[in-house]
Amino acid sequence: MLTGLLPLTQGEFEFISCDLAHGTASLRYQLRYLENNAPKRIDFLETVRFPGAPELSTLAPARARAAERALKLLHLMTGTSYFKALVPPNIITGTPLTAGMAALATAVYTEGLAEFAYQNKLKLQPEFNTGNVDAGTQAAPAPALGLQARALIALGGGKDSLVSVEVLKRAGTPACAVWIGRSELIAATAQASGLPTLNISREISAELFALNAQGALNGHVPVTAINSAILVLAAILYDYSQVIFSNERSASAATLIHEGVPVNHQWSKSQAFESALSEIVQTEIAADLHYFSLLRPYSELAVTKKFAATDRYDALFSSCNRNFRILADKPASRWCGQCPKCHFVFLALAPFVAKPRLLKIFGQNLLDDIDLAPAFEALLEWNGAHKPFECVGEAEESRAAFFQLCERADWREDALVQHFAKTIAAKIEKPNLASLLSPDPIALARIPEAMRSALGDVSLEPNSKT
């Protein structure tokens, strides 16, 4: 077992190589360390498969160079999964990084791994500007590649990306629904979207799972950073000028503050990451490739209100992360009813969806189970609790939803709504629902005009008739 070695006080993590051939990106890494004074080496190979992608040799030279830079970006992002296993103090990239790429990598390996570090009681200080890394290197300005005016829209199986799908359709934006991995649930929502589809596969190195079984460090990695890099490369290979995610403004809020430092489970969904990656893409990869989140102007509550406007996906979507675990068992139905995502999505939809419809979606009434009181109190950040390490909205949003339900005859008799009304409501300030449902004007201005118009206004009055 490795437990006595961790975290490593000496050792190296090296990005060995990355290449792309026959539609497969091969990403190689190596961990080196001493065990009982004997040198040890662990090699990892991760593969990402882009079906039907052209060979780099067939692309125009500028586009081939952009694909190579995007591949380097992907190599850096996926490395988080392997670096975290032993957390060696030395990182070797193999080839020099530009100043911008070094800064992005440092942010991803610190802020993107902040939850992992917090849970494992570590202080991460990775450096990407020492040894053979020249952080002063400046990339030649990225050229415009003449990419086609169409979008890759990332699907995750949940409500947010489906809202974006409908917005793109209303805007008349040519788009392809793309997802990563083998999820049948996401495949079903993609099919229901009516858009062309693309499924990219990702195979994590089996050596990592073996290492975890021996006691390696484990925990949350910035998956959205990895998926974003995959889609940036995909956009160049398949000729798309936009990579669109569906991260709302609530994702920028820290899960907690630890020793004065924000720890955000959703950091790679935050505005900070989006801005940093977008700048790298346009300055170092392709000037006419745009990476952004379509829902950034909105709170989670505003997104759920938008989702409530259609029942098209009621029988298909799920935001329950237990559906998407790699090795662990998945829930028997689309909603486990026990995790923070199930709790938050149920609560956030309740003010905007007719009760019978919501109960049909979930198959149960989560707000009428008093045993779930501690879980919902965590969403409220009540009594000293911080919100869960999950992709859930801010406490203010959960509080606003409960206040709305207290005024609804169809909900106010349920156990947790009564509990909130009797125990919590009088001791907290009632949030401004109109403010929570209003888009942020600065973020809204960043959205392309046609999509901005299609987003429309979020009504300030809850709709109980949907």
DSSP characters for 157-208? SSHHHHHHHHHHHHHT--EEEEEES--HHHHHHHHHHTS-EEEEEEE--HHH
pLDDT at 425: 96
Q: Are residues 305 and 377 in the same domain?
A: yes
Residue with tokens 């203010």: 396
State pLDDT tens for residues 411-442: 999 999 999 999 999 999 999 999 999 999 99
Residue 449 lies in a domain: no
Domain boundary among the residues 293, 313, 337 is at 293
Residue 19 lies in a domain: yes
Residue 252 CA to residue 275 CA, distance in Å, equals 12
- The yes-or-no verdict on residue 459 having pLDDT over 50 is no
Residue 127 phi/psi, 5-degree rounding, is: -125, 130
- The yes-or-no verdict on residue 270 having pLDDT over 60 is yes
- The yes-or-no verdict on residue 446 having pLDDT over 60 is yes
Q: Are residues 51 and 110 in the same domain?
A: yes
Residue 386's pLDDT band (cuts 50, 70, 90): confident
pLDDT at 331: 53
- Mean pLDDT (the chain, rounded): 91
Q: What is the dihedral of CA 15, 111, 281, 300, to 10 degrees?
A: 140
- The yes-or-no verdict on residue 92 having pLDDT over 80 is yes
Percent residues over pLDDT 90 in the chain: 82
- The yes-or-no verdict on residue 383 having pLDDT over 90 is no
pLDDT at 461: 40
- E strands, 300-413, are none
Q: Residue 356: what residue type?
A: P
- The yes-or-no verdict on residue 193 having pLDDT over 70 is yes
**Structural domains of the chain, count:** 2
Residue with tokens 């199986």: 157
Copy the structure tokens of residue 225. 């950073």
For helices 184-193 and 159-171, the axis angle rounded to 10 degrees is 20
Q: Are residues 278 and 374 in the same domain?
A: no
Residue 462 lies in a domain: no
Terminal CA-CA length for the chain: 55
pLDDT at 390: 94
- The yes-or-no verdict on residue 130 having pLDDT over 50 is no
Cis, peptide link before residue 54, omega less than 30° from 0: no
Q: Are residues 237 and 377 in the same domain?
A: no
The arithmetic mean of pLDDT across residues 284-309, rounded, is 96
Q: Are residues 242 and 326 in the same domain?
A: no
Residue 451 lies in a domain: no
Q: Are 115 and 154 in contact (CB under 8 A)?
A: no
The arithmetic mean of pLDDT across residues 431-456, rounded, is 93
pLDDT at 179: 98
pTM for this predicted structure: 0.94
Residue 59 lies in a domain: yes
Residue 117 lies in a domain: yes
- The yes-or-no verdict on residue 239 having pLDDT over 50 is yes
- The yes-or-no verdict on residue 95 having pLDDT over 70 is yes
The arithmetic mean of pLDDT across residues 184-211, rounded, is 96
Residue 454 lies in a domain: no
State pLDDT tens for residues 16-73: 999 999 999 999 999 999 888 889 999 999 999 999 999 999 999 999 999 999 999 9
pLDDT at 463: 43
Q: Are residues 329 and 389 in the same domain?
A: yes
Residue 198 phi/psi, 5-degree rounding, is: -145, 125
State pLDDT tens for residues 305-348: 999 999 999 999 998 877 655 445 555 578 999 999 999 999 99
Least reliable range by pLDDT among 141-155, 225-239, 318-332, 388-402: 318-332
The arithmetic mean of pLDDT across residues 273-300, rounded, is 97
Map residue 315 onto helix, strand or coil: coil
The arithmetic mean of pLDDT across residues 348-367, rounded, is 96
pLDDT at 45: 98
Q: Are residues 11 and 28 in the same domain?
A: yes
Domain coverage including residue 98:
3-293
Q: 3-state DSSP helix/strand/coil percent for the chain, to nearest 5?
A: 45, 15, 40
Domain boundary among the residues 293, 316, 346 is at 293
- Centre a 10 Å sphere on the Cβ of residue 275 and count the other Cβ atoms it contains: 13
Q: Are residues 272 and 311 in the same domain?
A: no
Q: Are residues 97 and 39 in the same domain?
A: yes
The arithmetic mean of pLDDT across residues 157-174, rounded, is 95
Residue 390 lies in a domain: yes
pLDDT at 4: 67
pLDDT at 332: 58
- Centre a 10 Å sphere on the Cβ of residue 120 and count the other Cβ atoms it contains: 16
Percent residues over pLDDT 70 in the chain: 92
pLDDT at 139: 66
Q: Are residues 109 and 25 in the same domain?
A: yes
Q: Are residues 270 and 330 in the same domain?
A: no
Residue 244 phi/psi, 5-degree rounding, is: -120, 125
Q: Are residues 275 and 401 in the same domain?
A: no
pLDDT at 343: 96
Copy the structure tokens of residue 300. 């989670």
- The yes-or-no verdict on residue 99 having pLDDT over 70 is yes
- Centre a 10 Å sphere on the Cβ of residue 264 and count the other Cβ atoms it contains: 23
The arithmetic mean of pLDDT across residues 403-415, rounded, is 96
